[in-house]
Structure 1
Amino acid sequence: MRKHLTGFLEMLIFPAFLFVFCGICSLFSCGTKNSPSDSNIEHDIPVEGQCEEEATRCNGNIFQKCISAQWQDFENCTDSGYFCEPALGCVECIPLRPYCDGELLKQCTAEGKEGALIADCSAISGATCSSGAGACVTLCEKANDERSNVGCVYWAVDLDNATNSVDDAAAAQFAVVVANVHSTYTATVMVTMSESGYGNPPAPVMVETATVPPGTVHIFNLPRRDVDGPDSDLHTDDGPQSCLSSLAFKIESDIPIVAYQFNPITQDFSNDASLLIPESGMDTLHYVVVYPPANPIRIQGLMDYPNRDYVTVVGTRENTTVRVTPSYDIVASIPPIPAGYTATPAISAGETVEFTLGPYEVLNLETREMTGPRDQLPDLTGTVVDADKPIAVFTGVDLALAVEGLVPGCSNLEDCSCCAEHIEQQVIPKTSMGRKFVVTRSPMRNSGGWIEADVYRVMAVRNDTQITTNLTDPSLRSFTLNEMEWKEFTSKTGFILEASKPVHVVQFLVSQMQTENVIGDSSMVPFPSVEERRAYYVFTTGINFTQNYAVVSLPQGFDATIDGAQISSACGSPVTIGELDGYTYVAYTCEISEGAHVVDGGRQPVGVIVYGYYRAGSYAYPAGSDMRKIFVE
């Protein structure tokens, strides 16, 4: 499934060289007992086959009975707002466990019914009810227990972005945007950074403190701290590339928030954004999916700095041992090494190397330059990052170029592959990877008859992973991947994907010349699984983008609101994606204004992906996701 350079160079690299000649084209809710998604209860599903008559089980939140030796759906507990319990069926609450009815902590009976009142958490200052903890806890303790993108401590990094002789996106404004998801309390949020170099005890200094009222966002415009090392001047990229530093930003709040990083926040010739995962949602093992660099070969006098894939690891605890096994060769630190940085060695593909990180410390590893047209194309997809303590892992490319192929009006690929774009995302940890996906297409950038495709990569992390979709291509209806194998394909529509074992599903937007309206560019979106969907999202757009969208997917027959308006009324006609677990899923493409927005699914978890386009760039990111440990071996 890995792509090699032979037969692929003309498609990817030479159009990217044309892109350089063109001057970069532009020139540049509090859960209740009636919320099954809040239960954090996971049921093991037996192997399909004959069963014992009248036996019962739960398939997700669907109660099944064995009839005529076959499992049959008996009741979907989500329809009634209840939980599935294997022996009892649909119940109001998990038997014999404390649960929350609003802010009332109650005891569930053995029959799964409402029991005695334990405590009124609203009567305790600063407390909230947590079903997971079975107690009245602080808001941050509840967020820690529930594991999602909502949390109180985050880490952000100014990842490697594009630099060339005309424009310098790496020097543009890097920002972290936080949103207060609470309906009552104001959040106090502070950002710190460390002034000590790698290997020294942290020396935190305050960057900025802000108060964020309920339901609003705040933008932290942060100082430039390139994790690939400082450049000698504007329009250069001559830092160490791979190195160790202490350049991370720490974001802390006294109540739960959500956070995103924009690199950069304003529209530039090279943009992207990433959903940030709080410490409470982090874990130790990560599998990387990314895309090859657009220009992986240096051309003297034309392109002095090749583009590179990278994996960036942030330490959150003292003395964290990190093990990295890259899928492509890693370049050694390029001298001179500035003060405060530590050099890293060259690493061969498949070699495992250990590093030690502490809070604020960053390991940045970038691919080596290609040696010639027959060399393998750099690609860090399949890289494994493991640690003995929770870490934050990011991946990206300073410039990537995703294309479908020839489009109307193009006689050769060089004419329709401009332009390259920065992509980045924080990697979903292994324990939060899922098996079921409702994948929505990006908002269309064409106004005529041509529909541009999205590019996808699906990667397995365990052997004999069987994957099915509802795509029309017979080769994509059913296929099998082994550990660290991945399949790349394009689709002009959304689709349903199910896997026998957890997988990564990542969407890449095609470049602007693949569209009739010549707008937007490549971006990267890791799709959260259906198992990790949420019901409530607060998010924001970038600044000065021409078009901003939220694509919302949910089961047909349900509705959600966006900024208080019904999505079915505010966002036009839905597009059918397909069937999953007895539901027909549909998607709404909602054009939104610049600024903060709220999507509320009520009791029903929904999926939300955020996009922004302008003449020479784009950004895209998932608006949120649970980070529950659903992949436990």
Structure 2
Amino acid sequence: MRHGGGLVLGVLMVVWLGCSAGGSGSPTPGPGKGGNGQAGAAGSDPDGSVGGGGTGGDGGAGGAAGDASLGGGGSGGSGGDADVPDQGEDSQDACPPCSADSLNVIDCDGNVIQACAAGEKCAAGVCTEDLCKKAADAKGNYGCEYWTLNLDNILAGACFAAFVTNTSQSPAKITVEYNGAILDIAQFAKIPVGQGSQLQYSNYDGVNGLMPGEVAILFLAVKTPQPAPPLGEPCPSGITPALKIDPAVHGTGRGKAFHITTDTPVVAYQIYPYGGGNAAITSATLLLPVAAWDVNYVAVNGYAKTEVANNWGLPSLDILAAEDGTEVKIKPVAAIEGGTGVPGSPAGQPITYTLDQGQFIQFSQAAELTGSAILSNKPVAVFGGNSCMNIPVGVDACDTAQQQIPPVRAMGNEYAAVRYRGRAGSNESVPWRIVGAVDGTQLSYTPAAPAGAPSTIASGQLVEFQSAEPFVVASQNADHPFYISGHMTGGSQFNGEGDAEFVNVVPTAQYMKSYVFFTDPTYPETNLVVVRKQGQNGFAEVNLDCAGALTGWQPLGPYEYTRIDLVTGKFKSVGGCSNGRHIIGSDAPFGVTVWGWGSNASFPFVSTYVSYAYPAGAGVAKVNSTVVMPD
């Protein structure tokens, strides 16, 4: 947001997806093979984890297993389905072939014909591999159950949306609930078509579901009447959101989240406010499925309180429960000020809060809680944000911030920190923040420690420093994990190009071998940062669908990095690339961060002072044995 009545900008968003439920297979589609009939279709997952069904015979075999990586082992593809008799025009009147819990094939009287084996579920009267369970067991970013919430922000109930990407071979049926009530998804789910000024929205097919490769935008809420920008941002013309409310909690308090479920694994993320390059203070985050949640976290805020204004720019921390009776204990590094339904607590004094399903508690205050230990009796999700941060704290302009924070078990002990492509051709020096989890954590840097970077860090300690050049930072071993975030500075230093942003840096141990992601078609600047590991046979090629094998690699210790633009200037495509859905893959693990921002070249269709960032994907596997206790 431009302080003082100027332009307001939001953050672009992109969809990313890991390669499979395990998140680690090769990007080459795996061929299906018909049992005794014809060959099945090629598997559409990037690692060939799901093969097409063969016609006749026993059904096609799935694609080959992806190679395991530290981001979670890839698994062999499932066999394709055998032919299912055509139900014909009267299929809607036929009795259901599966039990309500999907564990049995039944007849019209409800009698069990076949009990599905462990790891299977009934689909269309046939026991098949339960891909939702497979994804849940992998504990990655690919799943069938998500919760999404609107974090604290300075707007008055602007358009809040979630994105769902179907990367499987079969349609995905989507269900959305709020406060226990199922919402009419046919009303508010839309499929984006085109980009820029040509962007349109088609209807979601509530009967057949989200087709493979499609992205659905779920327009969840907007408060009506909606204030004019910069304090409001309506949903696109002609679209009626699910609820006409402001679902956010402003300040410290308690609120309710939206519940999204699907019948096949998908990838999801949230964006606020929706509106692409025109939206005010937009930010977005990848959402982790419930199966990837955990009970132990170190709190992270988006950034420190702004110094530009007194009534906004507060750091926020949100904790969300998926089950009733969830008890959350937190040991705050600063005093919790308290609010409606939220008792306060002095710094260093543990306090326990109880949450029920779909309920979140939010701490929004001037003093950061970054570094606070969190422990719960049931899995929770943790989000870090800021209602409108300035970076640096005294420099225009401000954007809201939101990232879902990984649990302690998924925090790494080595990170490759590489910023976005410099704006206006500059070699920008940007902030990096490291948060410790274990006392006595010793840090080493390659090629050299940036000025102000810590050599040691304690549990709960936050250290911020600047660096224009990429670096690798590592601790002494896996049981000394830590967290690091990257940031973009405010747009006033670059004539309104881009704005303040906050993003998780993915541990190198959580890199994957392929990603499917989606870049928002309303943003004119999209830049990818790619980092690859060196293997026994050197560096493996990384192939992007629109560019082929990536080039321009630069050395970074045992890693290499490159940056590639998809679009630039006034939505100008670079090479064969443009905004939209993309697949990128390699035979070895690598990381991808997506950045996007507004451009003066595309003003006024797209605002200046706007940016976004998020990892294209990440494993959430257990890579350490650390528990951070709030005692």
Secondary structure of 1:311's aligned partner: strand
1:325 and 1:295 map into 2 onto residues whose CA distance is 27
- What do residues 608-627 of structure 1 show as CA deviations (whole Å, max 9, x unaligned)? 11111011111111111111
1:269 and 1:104 map into 2 onto residues whose CA distance is 45
Asked if the contact 2:553–2:560 (Cα under 8 Å) also holds between the matched residues in 1, the reply is no
Asked if the contact 1:549–1:590 (Cα under 8 Å) also holds between the matched residues in 2, the reply is yes
Give the corresponding residue for 2:195. none
Give the corresponding residue for 1:292. 304
Give the AA of the match of 1:181: T
Asked if the contact 2:314–2:364 (Cα under 8 Å) also holds between the matched residues in 1, the reply is yes
Matches within 5 A, 1:405-424: 417-424=395-402
Match of 1:512 among 477, 481, 491: 491
2:286 aligned with 1:275, yes or no? yes
Displacement of 1:522 in angstroms is: 0.9
Match of 1:455 among 431, 437, 449: 431
1:401 and 1:551 map into 2 onto residues whose CA distance is 23
Secondary structure of 2:136's aligned partner: helix
Asked if the contact 2:333–2:460 (Cα under 8 Å) also holds between the matched residues in 1, the reply is no
Give the corresponding residue for 1:188. 173
Matches within 5 A, 1:202-217: 202-207=180-185, 210=204, 211-217=209-215
Asked if the contact 2:271–2:283 (Cα under 8 Å) also holds between the matched residues in 1, the reply is yes
1:187 and 1:148 map into 2 onto residues whose CA distance is 18
2:468 aligned with 1:492, yes or no? yes
Asked if the contact 1:193–1:206 (Cα under 8 Å) also holds between the matched residues in 2, the reply is no
Match of 1:307 among 310, 313, 321: 313
Match of 2:383 among 391, 394, 417: 394
Matches within 5 A, 1:329-368: 329-333=335-339, 343-368=341-366
2:161 aligned with 1:179, yes or no? no
Asked if the contact 1:105–1:121 (Cα under 8 Å) also holds between the matched residues in 2, the reply is no
Asked if the contact 1:444–1:451 (Cα under 8 Å) also holds between the matched residues in 2, the reply is yes
Displacement of 1:102 in angstroms is: 5.3
Give the AA of the match of 2:216: H
Give the corresponding residue for 2:142. 150
Q: 1:616 to 1:296 in 2, by over 3 A?
A: closer
The worse-fitting range, judged by mean Cα deviation, of 593-602 and 235-244 is: 235-244
Regions of 4+ moved over 6 Å = 31-34, 124-130, 236-239
Give the corresponding residue for 1:528. 506
Give the corresponding residue for 2:422. 444
1:120 and 1:212 map into 2 onto residues whose CA distance is 21
- What do residues 244-278 of structure 1 show as CA deviations (whole Å, max 9, x unaligned)? 23x20111111111111111222323121111111
Asked if the contact 1:317–1:389 (Cα under 8 Å) also holds between the matched residues in 2, the reply is yes
Give the AA of the match of 1:154: Y
| TM-score w.r.t. length of structure 2 | 0.68
Q: 1:128 to 1:310 in 2, by over 3 A?
A: farther
Q: Which has the higher contact order (CA 8 A, sep 6+)?
A: 2
Match of 1:321 among 323, 327, 330: 327
Displacement of 1:327 in angstroms is: 2.5
Q: 1:611 to 1:35 in 2, by over 3 A?
A: closer
Displacement of 1:234 in angstroms is: 9.6
2:359 and 2:481 map into 1 onto residues whose CA distance is 30
Secondary structure of 1:496's aligned partner: strand
Give the corresponding residue for 2:616. 623
Give the AA of the match of 1:138: D
Q: 1:567 to 1:551 in 2, by over 3 A?
A: farther
Secondary structure of 1:605's aligned partner: strand
Displacement of 1:103 in angstroms is: 5.0
Asked if the contact 1:139–1:256 (Cα under 8 Å) also holds between the matched residues in 2, the reply is yes
Q: 1:317 to 1:466 in 2, by over 3 A?
A: same
Q: 1:154 to 1:30 in 2, by over 3 A?
A: closer
Asked if the contact 1:519–1:617 (Cα under 8 Å) also holds between the matched residues in 2, the reply is yes
**Unaligned residue ranges in structure 1 (runs of 5+):** 1-15, 38-80, 82-100, 107-117, 164-169, 195-201, 299-304, 334-341, 369-377, 405-413
1:128 and 1:455 map into 2 onto residues whose CA distance is 52
Give the corresponding residue for 1:409. none
Give the AA of the match of 1:388: N
- What do residues 399-430 of structure 1 show as CA deviations (whole Å, max 9, x unaligned)? 111139xxxxxxxxx7xx22122111011111
Give the corresponding residue for 1:251. 260
Backbone CA RMSD of aligned residues: 3.8
2:251 aligned with 1:241, yes or no? yes
Displacement of 1:559 in angstroms is: 1.8
Displacement of 1:561 in angstroms is: 2.4
Give the AA of the match of 2:617: G
Secondary structure of 1:331's aligned partner: coil
Q: 1:457 to 1:242 in 2, by over 3 A?
A: same
Give the AA of the match of 1:438: A
2:117 and 2:471 map into 1 onto residues whose CA distance is 38
- What do residues 287-316 of structure 1 show as CA deviations (whole Å, max 9, x unaligned)? 122211214864xxxxxx343111111110
1:546 and 1:403 map into 2 onto residues whose CA distance is 24
Asked if the contact 1:272–1:422 (Cα under 8 Å) also holds between the matched residues in 2, the reply is yes
Secondary structure of 1:265's aligned partner: coil
2:560 and 2:329 map into 1 onto residues whose CA distance is 40
Give the AA of the match of 1:421: D
Asked if the contact 2:284–2:614 (Cα under 8 Å) also holds between the matched residues in 1, the reply is yes
Secondary structure of 2:512's aligned partner: coil
Give the corresponding residue for 2:133. 141
Displacement of 1:587 in angstroms is: 2.2
Give the corresponding residue for 1:261. 270
Q: 1:588 to 1:573 in 2, by over 3 A?
A: same
Asked if the contact 1:261–1:273 (Cα under 8 Å) also holds between the matched residues in 2, the reply is yes
Give the AA of the match of 1:563: D
Give the corresponding residue for 2:562. 587
Displacement of 1:225 in angstroms is: 8.0
Displacement of 1:603 in angstroms is: 2.7
Q: 1:119 to 1:617 in 2, by over 3 A?
A: closer
1:462 and 1:490 map into 2 onto residues whose CA distance is 23
Asked if the contact 1:105–1:136 (Cα under 8 Å) also holds between the matched residues in 2, the reply is no
Asked if the contact 2:520–2:580 (Cα under 8 Å) also holds between the matched residues in 1, the reply is no
Match of 1:465 among 441, 461, 476: 441
Q: 1:31 to 1:173 in 2, by over 3 A?
A: closer
